[in-house]
């Protein structure tokens, strides 16, 4: 934990894990799962929000049901002087779900959802003018953890 973050105990971690699995869980149900009263669990959640450990709540969406049949990782290599223009351009592509500036031989890695291979070709054509691309089609997500899963495992050791 950083100096600015409060120490988390096992119950805090269980609360975060339960909320990450189902953000719509009621405080009554959450309290049952972590062994606290509604008032106590509500206070802990509010404290986690106030300390910005919990920064928001979300929804997981099945992109295939929305017509996006491909998930792709695109690795990008390009000179630093092009990054600003690339970043600005990428803002216009909502199919780029995440973009990470990384160390190593790549400059960026993008996670992209696409309707089909034609959609992929069009996107690659737009980005390729800025640098070299290497594309990987995601076949399956075999592991998905939250940061709290790691912290809970560390507490057990």
pLDDT band at 1 (very low <50, low <70, confident <90, very high): very low
Same fold, 10-59 and 63-137: no
Does 153 have pLDDT greater than 90? no
Q: CA separation (Å) from 28 to 24, 25, 31, 42, 82? A: 11, 8, 5, 9, 52
- Is 2's pLDDT higher than 80? no
**Mean pLDDT score, 136-156:** 86
What CA–CA distances, in Å, run from 64 to 100, 116, 152?
Answer: 23, 11, 32
Task: End-to-end CA distance of the chain: give it in Å, rounded.
Answer: 17
What are the structure tokens assigned to 72, written together?
């792709």
Task: Tell me the pLDDT tens digit for each residue of 36-61.
Answer: 999 999 999 999 999 999 999 988 88
Q: Give residue 4's pLDDT.
A: 57
131 pLDDT higher than 60: yes
Using DSSP's 3-state secondary structure scheme, residue 49 falls into helix
Q: Given a cut of 90, is residue 69 above it in pLDDT?
A: yes
Residue 84: pLDDT band with limits 50, 70, 90: confident
The 70-77 sheet, strands edge to edge: 96-101, 108-114, 70-77, 132-137
| pLDDT given at position 87 | 87
List the chain domain ranges: 10-59, 63-137
**Residue 6: its pLDDT value, please?**
63
pTM for this predicted structure = 0.78
Q: To the nearest whole number, what is the mean pLDDT of the chain? A: 91
CATH number for the domain running over 63-137: 3.30.70.920
Q: What are phi and psi of 140, to 5 degrees?
A: -165, 145
Mean pLDDT within 88-106: 93
Q: What distance in Å separates the CA atoms of residue 41 and residue 94, rounded to the nearest whole number?
A: 36
Q: Is the confidence at residue 23, as pLDDT, over 70?
A: yes
Q: Spell out the alpha helix ranges (H) of 10-78.
A: 10-21, 27-34, 38-50
CATH hierarchy code of domain 10-59: 1.10.10.10
Beta-bridge partners for 111: 73, 98
């Amino acid at each position: 934990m950083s100096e600015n973050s409060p120490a988390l105990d096992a119950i805090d971690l269980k609360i975060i894990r339960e909320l990450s699995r189902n953000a719509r869980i009621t405080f009554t149900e959450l309290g049952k799962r972590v062994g606290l009263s509604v008032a106590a669990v509500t206070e802990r959640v509010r404290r986690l929000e106030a300390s910005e450990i919990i920064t928001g709540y979300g929804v997981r969406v099945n992109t295939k049901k929305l017509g996006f049949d491909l998930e792709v990782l695109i690795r990008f290599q390009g000179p630093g002087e092009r990054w600003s223009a690339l970043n600005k351009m990428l803002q216009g592509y909502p199919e780029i779900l995440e973009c990470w500036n990384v160390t190593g031989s790549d400059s960026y890695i993008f996670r992209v959802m696409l309707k089909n291979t034609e959609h992929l070709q069009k996107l690659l054509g737009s980005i390729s003018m800025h640098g070299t691309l290497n594309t990987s089609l995601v076949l399956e997500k075999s592991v998905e953890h939250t940061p709290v899963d790691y912290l809970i495992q560390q507490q057990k050791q």
